[in-house]
Amino acid sequence: MEFLLALLCGFMTAASVYLMLAGNTIRYIFGLVIATNAVNLLIFVAGRLPSTRPPLVPEGATVPPEPVANALPQALILTAIVIGFALLSFVFILFYRAYHATGTVETEKMRIAEPETEMHATESSRSEGMSA
């Protein structure tokens, strides 16, 4: 079971990298969501799955009598979910503002911060002259 979950983590990471490199901000957001879920699943798999009992120690004992669930990965996943939600909220607001400012979701067409200069104009005229 752990092997299948590790394989799923790898697949999710590959899919998220593919989406984040696509050049479309909507795909980037979906890739970011998949990446955060892949990291959460990776932390869950690293915490060992077989033991499902809560980490309770009986009175008078110093250690639990049976194997128990590790509480640290559960706390890390809970923290990662909260951080991932905050990051996702920020990215949605940033996407909304960028879309309204530029009118496009394609990252190559978002050139407000990079105005057309003389150097860019001469480079584009050279490339047009070479292709003709």
Domain membership flag for residue 14: yes
pLDDT band at residue 53 under the 50/70/90 scheme: low
Domain membership flag for residue 118: yes
C-alpha span between 5 and 63 (Å, rounded): 30
pLDDT band at residue 55 under the 50/70/90 scheme: low
Q: Report the CATH number that the domain containing residue 32 is assigned in CATH.
A: 1.10.287
pLDDT at res. 20: 92
Question: Domain limits at 123?
Answer: 2-53+69-131
Domains held by the chain: number? 1
Domain membership flag for residue 58: no
Domain membership flag for residue 83: yes
Domain membership flag for residue 122: yes
Q: Which position has the higher pLDDT, 113 or 34?
A: 34
Report if pTM > 0.85: no
